[in-house]
Chain A
Amino acid sequence: MANKFSRRDMLATGAGLAGAGAIGFPMVAHAQATGGQRQTINVRAAAEFDVIDPAFRRGPTDGNVMRVVYQRLMSPKPNSSELELDAASEIKQTSPTTIDFKLKPGLMFTDGFGEMTAEDVKFSFERIGLPPKEGAKESTYKADWLHLVGVEVKGKYEGRITLAQPRANIFDVVIADGSGCIVSKKAVEQRGAEFGFKPVGSGQYQVASFDKQKGAVLRRNPAYKGTRKGNFEEINVRVITDSKTADLALRAGEIDFAVLAPAAAEPLRNIAGLTVSDQPSIAYVWMGMNMEKGPLADLRVRQAIRLGVDVDQMLLAGYNGKVPRLNTALPPQIMGHWKEAPAYKRNVAEAKSLLAAAGVSNLKLKLTVLNQPEYQNMALVARALLAEIGVTIEVDAQPGGTYWSSGKGDAGKNLELYMARFNAKHDPNFVLQWFTPGQLGNWNWSRWNSSEFDGMFKSSDSETDPAKRRQIVMDMQKAMDKTSAYVWLTNEASALVHRSWLKPASVPGWADWQYADFSAG
């Protein structure tokens, strides 16, 4: 498959580039046949597969495959978060709580499971949103279909979705996303648990083979009826958990596309045949303080800590300086993002005086972080910086199994400082939901108990006027800023690394890839 350079060529190239101050790795990638001739592409998945079933999916590895195996009523246009019709020929919000839809006729499920009807839509949504029937499992994504009353079948292709309460984001976050995938009712009932790795959908690709640890092979679905047919006959989704290995696989030509952390993608920038492009992500990373714990209950102490750290230096250590700084909860791509949020600069003198005013000296705090290099490094830098204002920090780097429960329940009451990273979606309420009082003891690790914030949250959730909603969302961010319990760090960035002839596609933020729109160009 790879064109072999002669050893002399490689030594010469390697030596030349090494002399140019490069790292000393051989700076060549093994060339592939050009894109026009390629029928198969190899894509890297960073986590193992679990279940390709909308009701029980686990992570983006499952999700990305899911969205090309199944159709949805509406789905995002290529490389955009704007929606277009997919399985539906018509869809209308007929009242604040009802949505009428009409399916296109002739959408066929694979493996001989027949045509898609409104029954399948009803089945797909209700199995997620409604309490499960006898013996069935409850879906992990039930919260996505919150307030679903039911789906009424009005004809072979027509139906009506009824909600108990209006939901402003129902289209973006639910109907056009994972929980809106339409499965074949017959196939689910027939295949049971096996459906998770032998899925039946009507999308552009079908799953030809599936292995949890190795990966999945997707083959183009000839029966797909739509305008966005897949450009490649076969897409090999290879699971490579270690980013170092992904780096090497890219160099060796065994992988054509991967999304790496910008620091990890650095050495690949100068390799012939590979293109590296930096894309901002929609995550939100911050250092938080437990507002109920000891001295942290005092606003001045929290302000002192915010002024004692230097976010830019932390980002330099954690991400090689390759990520944009974030100053508010909402990443810039999301509606309602507070552009004028203050970017706090380090001020040792003021921090010290705030601490003195609060009557606090020799403060000792524990900083809990996930034991990945970015957070550990940022924590160590924060530790050094805060030592200069008289605060002693103990870094507690936890592995995944314990980290994710460190802010919950009773353990959460003892949390002091922490760093967290959440994934966002293109909806402000999705991003801000974790900071409401309802999430105390669950994901509200700063233990912020504000009924005012809660009120704003609820009203923005059902506010259908975009301008009004934007205002409420702004106010919510301002309220968060006033607490000084959140030191915003970054919305991260991803580096896309791919063969130069390959054009990958994704909804902005590069969390939800669009395999069907990958093209050779």
Chain B
Amino acid sequence: MNLLANVFTTLRKVCGTLTGAVGLVIVLLVLGCAIFAPWVATHNPDALDVMSRFSRPTAAHWLGTDHLGRDLFSRMVHGASIAMQIAIASIAIALTLGTSLGILAAYLPARSERFVLIVFDVISSFPSLVLALAVVAVFGPSSTIVVFIVAVTLVPHFGRVARSQTLTLKSAPFLESERILGASWGRIVFHHVLPNILGPLVILASMDIPVVITIEAGLSFLGLGVRPPLASWGTLIQDGYTYISDTWVPVVVSSVALAVATLGFTLFGEALRDAVDPRIGREH
């Protein structure tokens, strides 16, 4: 009950700012395309028609066709779907794993905590390109692999924030009293720690969605992303770039789609954080 009211107030605050409102609109648009892709798209994104490749935008093909005669608009819409699937899956995994490790680290004795932090740093310092190439070499390129790579790269990110948030919380008086009263470790974590740290983490997560989408684009450009004929935005940019001399429409359109989606999620995430962070509201 309380939660719902909180959510509504936050959303109202977000829409209060121009950037927040625009962000929210874009996010809804992208999510809409992602969820309703088969209905929003005008054609089957895989249907190829080599004879009509590189055609300009027409009534039949709103954004023209690509190098194999596939409808660009439909591929873009399905691209939103793939981008969202990958982003949400990898962030969910990283969030879960990272948060667990972070909370764990906060409660472990110094030695073990240090070990966890070292693991975080090993992952952060390891060139992600090498990791991506190695993993793709073992398992072959696919969306699952992209999710895996991105999730692994993001775990330290969430882990550290979870840990520092938990540390701050640990010294809070109400937690102390719960411990003294004999509450089990599990109860403390799930009933008190988690709900309190989840807020900032979720906001962080929403701001990571654009990061994931861009990482996937880079991976696809190097040929390490999703399998053909899947139409991720990264693949669309790569294909468009390859055939840029034949038509500049695909690369521009897919870059714009990527930029707009990133813009939307970033603005929304920032507005969300601004709305929730008490310090920013207090400036004047």
**A residues whose Cβ falls under 8 Å from a Cβ of B:** 23-25, 244, 247, 263-264, 266-267, 313, 316-317, 320, 371, 373, 376-377, 379-381, 383-384, 395-399, 401-402
10 contacts between A and B (CB under 8 A): A23-B246, A263-B243, A317-B50, A373-B239, A395-B228, A397-B223, A398-B140, A399-B224, A401-B133, A402-B140
Q: Tell me the complex Cα distance, A225–B133, Å.
A: 49
CB proximity of B81 to chain A, nearest CB, Å: 20
**Contacts A317-B50, A317-B67 hold; do A395 and B245 have CB atoms under 8 A apart?**
no
Q: Is the Cβ of B246 less than 8 Å from the Cβ of A317?
A: no
Q: Is the Cβ of A399 less than 8 Å from the Cβ of B136?
A: yes
Q: Tell me the complex Cα distance, A316–B245, Å.
A: 16
- 1/0 per residue, CB under 8 A from A, across B238-249: the answer is 010111111110
User: B68 near A: Cβ within 8 Å?
Assistant: yes
**Contacts A377-B68, A380-B228, A397-B141 hold; do A23 and B245 have CB atoms under 8 A apart?**
yes
User: B211 near A: Cβ within 8 Å?
Assistant: no
CB proximity of A367 to chain B, nearest CB, Å: 11
Q: Is the Cβ of A266 less than 8 Å from the Cβ of B223?
A: no
Q: Is the Cβ of A373 less than 8 Å from the Cβ of B227?
A: no
Q: Tell me the complex Cα distance, A377–B68, Å.
A: 7
Tell me the chain B residues, 35-74 only, with Cβ under 8 Å from chain A. 48, 50-51, 53, 67-68
Q: Is the Cβ of A402 less than 8 Å from the Cβ of B246?
A: no
Q: Is the Cβ of A317 less than 8 Å from the Cβ of B140?
A: no
Closest to A23 in B: B245
CB proximity of B71 to chain A, nearest CB, Å: 14
Q: Which of A264, A266, A396 is close to B140, meaning CB atoms less than 8 Å apart?
A: A396
Majority-rule SS of B interface residues: loop
Q: Tell me the complex Cα distance, A415–B133, Å.
A: 22
CB proximity of B63 to chain A, nearest CB, Å: 16
Q: Is the Cβ of A317 less than 8 Å from the Cβ of B244?
A: no
Point out the residues of chain A lying under 8 angstroms from B53, CB to CB: 317
User: B229 near A: Cβ within 8 Å?
Assistant: yes
Point out the residues of chain A lying under 8 angstroms from B133, CB to CB: 399, 401
Point out the residues of chain A lying under 8 angstroms from B228, CB to CB: 376, 379-380, 395, 397
**B residues whose Cβ falls under 8 Å from a Cβ of A:** 48, 50-51, 53, 67-68, 133, 136-137, 140-141, 223-224, 227-229, 239, 241-248
Q: Which of A267, A373, A381, A402 is close to B137, meaning CB atoms less than 8 Å apart?
A: A402
Point out the residues of chain A lying under 8 angstroms from B50, CB to CB: 313, 316-317, 381
Q: Tell me the complex Cα distance, A317–B244, Å.
A: 15
CB proximity of A366 to chain B, nearest CB, Å: 10
**A-B complex: 4 closest residue pairs judged by Cβ atoms:** A267-B245, A371-B223, A317-B50, A373-B242
Q: Tell me the complex Cα distance, A331–B243, Å.
A: 28
CB proximity of B39 to chain A, nearest CB, Å: 24
Closest to B222 in A: A399
Q: Is the Cβ of A25 less than 8 Å from the Cβ of B245?
A: yes
Point out the residues of chain B lying under 8 angstroms from A381, CB to CB: 48, 50, 68
Q: Tell me the complex Cα distance, A32–B77, Å.
A: 46
Q: Tell me the complex Cα distance, A316–B67, Å.
A: 10
Q: Is the Cβ of B48 less than 8 Å from the Cβ of A397?
A: no
Q: Is the Cβ of B67 less than 8 Å from the Cβ of A377?
A: yes
Q: Is the Cβ of B68 less than 8 Å from the Cβ of A317?
A: yes
Q: Is the Cβ of A395 less than 8 Å from the Cβ of B227?
A: yes
Q: Is the Cβ of A24 less than 8 Å from the Cβ of B248?
A: yes
Q: Is the Cβ of B245 less than 8 Å from the Cβ of A266?
A: yes
Point out the residues of chain B lying under 8 angstroms from A25, CB to CB: 245
**Contacts A371-B223, A377-B67 hold; do A395 and B246 have CB atoms under 8 A apart?**
no
Q: Tell me the complex Cα distance, A399–B137, Å.
A: 8
Q: Is the Cβ of A244 less than 8 Å from the Cβ of B244?
A: yes
Point out the residues of chain A lying under 8 angstroms from B136, CB to CB: 399
CB proximity of B234 to chain A, nearest CB, Å: 13
Q: Is the Cβ of B247 less than 8 Å from the Cβ of A23?
A: yes
Q: Which of B223, B242, B246 is close to A399, meaning CB atoms less than 8 Å apart?
A: B223
Q: Tell me the complex Cα distance, A371–B239, Å.
A: 12
Point out the residues of chain A lying under 8 angstroms from B140, CB to CB: 396, 398, 402
Point out the residues of chain B lying under 8 angstroms from A264, CB to CB: 245
Point out the residues of chain B lying under 8 angstroms from A398, CB to CB: 140-141
